[in-house]
Amino acid sequence: MNNLKLLLPLFTFLGTYTICPAQNQLASKVKDIFPENTIVYGNIPYANDTLIKHQLDIYLPPGKIGKLPLVVWIHGGAWMMNDKYADMGYMKKTVAGFIDSGYALASINYRYSTDAIFPAQIQDCYQALEWLYQHADKYHLDKDRIALIGFSAGGHLANLLGLSRNNDVSSFYPATGRPHFSIRCVLDFYGPSDLVMVANNPDTVINNMRNPVSILLGAMAVDRPDIAKKASPATYVDKNDPPFFIVQGEKDESVPNTQSRMLSSWLTLSGVPNELVLVPNAPHYGVMFDADWIRTKLFSFLHAHLKN
């Protein structure tokens, strides 16, 4: 599918990388996005190493009181590009809305598929979440109120993390072992949900070793449906999963909107609360997804399932 150039033209790049190790120093690429006086702890290592891809940022509302519900941001980029600032550039009002509404926001890096194939990316996500859980008190986070938000490849990882967490998939765990955190809800923006279904498309862009899905899996999905199934969020849907808010463009050229529609159907059949928002005439990503009407729905969902 020219539908899965997957995610290659994806995300707005927001400038050069800026070291931001201390509180109250917003990186230049996000300085005009977060509300004034947002408290930030930047470039925190979460895996006891020095890899930039094993760092995260924490953003807190000014005048924080008590333990804050936490939203964890997982960036897109075909599993092979961008960083923890990506997607914020076209979601400015939503990002600011988290802080203004009293949520903490953490944004995480993870290893590229060009450096380490699956399941390295989901292992990194598990480790980052467990680090946040274990250090919640230090950063005024409520370890029992954690939500995920992901975009495209990051949506895939958010979905996979949210759905597999209660399935005890040991190969997804980092070297530190079984995690303790739980996920209250997932906000999915155009994340692939079934990589086996993706392989059914005859488009040669998909069925060759140079496409992002094949690079992620280390093999074409059509050749290794076992790996593709294991990497597919839809594989893990069951009645005990957290609620989902799913958003996708009607005219997405990178991920077919059937991916989101199918995920919503599986969740509904399993009795999992979910809301599907198909954005009329919208492409794969962009400012159309930061529209007031979508943001209103998102924060209503988030307040119901995380804040209250």
Give the global pTM: 0.91
Q: Which residue has the tokens 């399941």?
A: 119
Residues 6+ apart with CB under 8 A from 50: none
* Contact of 60 with 38, CB cutoff 8 Å: yes
Q: Which of 121-130, 180-189, 220-229, 240-249 has the lowest mean pLDDT?
A: 220-229
In this model, does residue 23 exceed pLDDT 80?
no
pLDDT band at 25 (very low <50, low <70, confident <90, very high): confident
Q: CA-CA distance, 32 to 44, in Å (whole number)?
A: 21
Q: Would residue 72 count as lying in a domain?
A: yes
Q: Would residue 48 count as lying in a domain?
A: no
Domain that holds residue 210: 2-17+68-307
pLDDT band at 203 (very low <50, low <70, confident <90, very high): low
pLDDT band at 30 (very low <50, low <70, confident <90, very high): very high
Q: Would residue 248 count as lying in a domain?
A: yes
Residues 6+ apart with CB under 8 A from 77: 7, 10, 11, 86, 152, 153, 154
Q: How many residues does the chain have?
A: 308
Total number of domains constituting the chain: 1
Q: Would residue 24 count as lying in a domain?
A: no
DSSP state of 140: T
pLDDT in tens, 210-247: 789 999 999 999 899 999 999 999 999 999 999 999 99
Q: Would residue 75 count as lying in a domain?
A: yes
Q: Would residue 297 count as lying in a domain?
A: yes
* Contact of 161 with 126, CB cutoff 8 Å: yes
Q: pLDDT at position 135, please?
A: 98
Span 39-55, average pLDDT: 97
Could you tell me the sign of the dihedral formed by the alpha carbons of 218, 219, 220, 221, in that order? negative
Counting residues of the chain whose pLDDT is more than 70, the rounded percentage is 89
In this model, does residue 17 exceed pLDDT 60?
no
Q: pLDDT at position 42, please?
A: 96
Q: pLDDT at position 63, please?
A: 87
CATH code of the domain covering residue 183: 3.40.50.1820
Q: Would residue 107 count as lying in a domain?
A: yes
Q: Would residue 45 count as lying in a domain?
A: no
